[in-house]
Amino acid sequence: MNKYGKIFSAIGLSLILTGTSSFSPGPPVIGSFLAFNLMPGANNSMVNFAIVTLLPDGKKDVNFITQTQFVRLASGIMHSDVNPNAENLFAKYEVEECGFSRDSLFKKTYFFCSSLDLVWKLRYKTNPYGGGTDSLGWTGASVPSPGQMNILKQYGAENLDDYIYGENAFKLLHDVQSYAWQSRYRGS
C-alpha cells in the first residue's frame, strides 16, 4: 500500500471508530406511504401518484411514481419502505381487481387496478383527455362540490392537491368499488 493509501485507510478507520462521517444523513423519517392526489400529474395522467414520506417537523417529502409503480409496490412485487413486508395491500384492504398477471408465453407481467382507474372520476365531470365508453366522471362541475370535498376529507384530503396516503388511500380505493358509495358521492 502506498503512502496515500495508508493515510486514507487511517482516516476511514478513524471515522468508523469515532462514529463520525463527512456525510450528513437526511432528515429523520416518521414513515413512507403510497399516495395519490386529484391533481393532473406528469406524463398526461389525470392524478398524481407518489410516495409520501412524513417528516418529524410536519413536512412531507413527495416522490412521484407512475400508476404501474403504485400497483407494483402495493402488490408487494417491488421492494420499498412503503411496503417493507412485501404484502399485498390490495388484498389486505379488500381492493378487488388490482394486482398483476404473468404471461408465461411472452414472459411479460401486466399490472392492473380498476379502482385506480376510477380515481380521476372523483375530480372531473368528464374525462379531460377525451371520449371513450366510460368518459363521465362523478362531479357535476369542473371540480368536486363542497359535499364531495366533505367526503374526501374523511380520507385526509382537505383540498384537491392534498395527498391521500397510507391506509386512507386504500380505504378510498376499496370504497370507490361500491356502486352505493359512487351514488352517494355523485349526489353530494
The tens digit of pLDDT for each residue in 29-56 reads 689 999 999 998 766 678 999 999 999 9
- Per the domain annotation, does 6 fall within a domain? no
Q: Cell triple for residue 34?
A: 403510497
Residue 74: its pLDDT value, please? 95
- Per the domain annotation, does 16 fall within a domain? no
Residue 95: its pLDDT value, please? 95
Residue 163: its pLDDT value, please? 96
Residue 40: its pLDDT value, please? 86
- Per the domain annotation, does 3 fall within a domain? no
- Per the domain annotation, does 24 fall within a domain? no
Residue 9: its pLDDT value, please? 43
- Per the domain annotation, does 14 fall within a domain? no
- When divided into structural domains, the chain yields a total of 1
99: enclosing H helix or E strand:
strand 98-103
- Per the domain annotation, does 12 fall within a domain? no
Residue 28: its pLDDT value, please? 67
Q: Which domain holds residue 37?
A: 31-187
What CA–CA distances, in Å, run from 103 to 39, 106, 107, 110, 158? 33, 6, 5, 8, 41
Residue 157 DSSP class: -
Residue 29: its pLDDT value, please? 65
Residue 46: its pLDDT value, please? 87
Residue 121: its pLDDT value, please? 94
Q: Which residue ranges of the chain lie beneath pLDDT 50?
A: 3-24
Residue 152: its pLDDT value, please? 98
Residue 14: its pLDDT value, please? 40
